Structure 1
Amino acid sequence: MVAFTGAGVSVESGIPPFRGAGGLWNTTHPIFLEIEYFQKRPLQSWKKIKDIFYDKLSDASPNIAHEVLAKMEKRSFLEFIITQNIDHLHQKAGSKKVCELHGTYRQLVCTKCSSEYDMSFADLNFLPPTCFVCKGVLKPDMVFFNEPVSDFAKRHSFNEAKKADLLLVIGTNAEVLPAAEIPEIAKNSDAKIIEINIKPSPFTNTITDIFIEASAADAMKEIGEMLYL
């Protein structure tokens, strides 16, 4: 079994999704996460990034959905997690085998020399943060708009999807590429698809075998109880 998770898995942790009801883009223009805007106006971009991500995510805690997935891995029910989330909550819950397809807020990378840093090394009271090696501007190591997913993350997630006997899709409509390809890749490799979403997605009536119309927290809590986790 492989789990493929999106924003819906972290809603119960107080992290709003980007799209849909209560979504971040309903109240905030996403231009600050466009790579071209960041390159031209790193200070303005960083002010928004700090407010929306770093001031909130560092205090966020895993919810029951993250915790059940971590227990499933520990009991060898679950082999791997592919997540579109940048919040690091799967790892906080104890999951070890996680591919962060869109990167993570916890790591920063220099836009000039490509040096990498844990976020704890940067003082975000002084923006934009700069590289200790070359003084270049540091960027969160997450995928911005108009920026490609890393080849390693794409290859790794696709390979795990191909090996899956069962893909557990949780809290995502996977509206962007290459994430949208992952359920199709698993299905084309004869995997069964179990989907947990609060409403039908583009997968529901096409490739999903079992659709559970519920929040990630509610569904995973019940699954955890059925598995005696």
Structure 2
Amino acid sequence: MIKIVALTGAGISAESGIATFRDANGLWEGHDVMEVASPQGWAKNPELVLDFYNQRRKAALTAEPNAGHEALAKLEEDFDVTVVTQNVDNLHERAGSSNVVHLHGQLFQSRSSVDENLIYEMEGWELNLGDTCEKGSQLRPNIVWFGEMVPMMEVAARVTQEADIFMIVGTSLAVYPAASLIDFTPHDASVYLVDPKLPPMQQRDNLYMYQENASTGVEKVRQELMKMYR
């Protein structure tokens, strides 16, 4: 079966009303990102960090998958699809994608602040001071913060090396190490890029660019693939 790997970024979730990670001033919902997305910020003010992610979860609960998420999920009917996402929301899963690799963690999970292997699914949207893991340490969001290792990067690189088709959806390819995944694609793989602001790409054979939002562009790619491989 033809293997598709889709790298998705903030652009696909923005169409569902999820705030993008940061603007040009390095702010996220009015906060300096280092205050709410770094080990230093956590050490300085854990209550602020917990409240920040509580509000992100609360907002995410009201968001719905859009046509871009749904088109990626529908590809599974005819292809072997892995979604590698930089997003921490669960919109891909809710749209029906069954194989999702979260590079930057998951919003609806918490983890121990002393043992990164102790990860817990969350019920609801609140995580508060005093909520502890089985070892008695404060629970923190299961989010990869600035300065932390990206534990799923190795998995993402491995699946990308096996891709027949590599899709890039709603990402500026400016955040590393995720942006380096394009370097792991086989030379003969087809690359489809979908974004309203197309990032600069090194020219290669079998490169197809769609200057569109994910909600329309991914479906167009899906239709093209169906014509080619059905």
- 1:213 equivalent to 2:214? Answer no
Report the AA paired with residue 63 of structure 2.
A
Ranges in structure 1 where 5+ consecutive residues have no aligned partner = none
Taking structure 1 as reference, are residues 123 and 213 closer, same or farther at Cα in structure 2, changes over 3 Å only? closer
Structure 1 counterpart SS, 2:161: helix
Offset at residue 179 of structure 1 (A): 0.3
Structure 1 counterpart of 2:50? 46
Ranges in structure 2 where 5+ consecutive residues have no aligned partner = none
CA contact (8 A) 1:162 1:189 kept: no
- 1:183 equivalent to 2:194? Answer no
Structure 1 counterpart SS, 2:93: helix
Query: Aligned equivalents of 1:77 and 1:132: distance in 2?
Result: 39
Offset at residue 168 of structure 1 (A): 0.8
Structure 2 counterpart of 1:59? 62
Structure 1 counterpart SS, 2:20: coil
CA contact (8 A) 1:109 1:139 kept: yes
CA contact (8 A) 2:133 2:139 kept: no
CA RMSD of aligned residues (A): 2.5
CA contact (8 A) 1:110 1:130 kept: no
Structure 1 counterpart of 2:165? 166
Query: Aligned equivalents of 1:24 and 1:198: distance in 2?
Result: 22
CA contact (8 A) 1:5 1:81 kept: yes
Offset at residue 60 of structure 1 (A): 1.7
Structure 1 counterpart of 2:32? 29
Report the AA paired with residue 2 of structure 1.
V
What is the count of residue pairs matched by the alignment? 220
Query: Aligned equivalents of 1:213 and 1:4: distance in 2?
Result: 16
Offset at residue 87 of structure 1 (A): 0.3
Offset at residue 66 of structure 1 (A): 0.7
Structure 1 moving runs of 4+ over 6 Å: none
Offset at residue 22 of structure 1 (A): 11
Structure 1 length-normalised TM: 0.86
Q: Percent identity?
A: 29
Structure 1 counterpart SS, 2:155: helix
Taking structure 1 as reference, are residues 132 and 194 closer, same or farther at Cα in structure 2, changes over 3 Å only? closer
Cα shift readout 1:30-54 (whole Å, capped 9, x = no counterpart):
1211111102321121122212x11
Query: Aligned equivalents of 2:140 and 2:200: distance in 1?
Result: 33
- 1:11 equivalent to 2:10? Answer no
Q: Which moved more, 1:98-107 or 1:37-46?
A: 37-46
CA contact (8 A) 2:26 2:32 kept: no
Taking structure 1 as reference, are residues 22 and 42 closer, same or farther at Cα in structure 2, changes over 3 Å only? closer
CA contact (8 A) 2:10 2:87 kept: yes
Query: Aligned equivalents of 1:148 and 1:175: distance in 2?
Result: 17
CA contact (8 A) 1:82 1:101 kept: yes
CA contact (8 A) 1:3 1:168 kept: yes
Taking structure 1 as reference, are residues 220 and 113 closer, same or farther at Cα in structure 2, changes over 3 Å only? closer
Q: Which moved more, 1:209-218 or 1:128-137?
A: 128-137
Cα shift readout 1:41-89 (whole Å, capped 9, x = no counterpart):
21121122212x111112221111111111111x132421111110011
Structure 2 counterpart of 1:107? 109
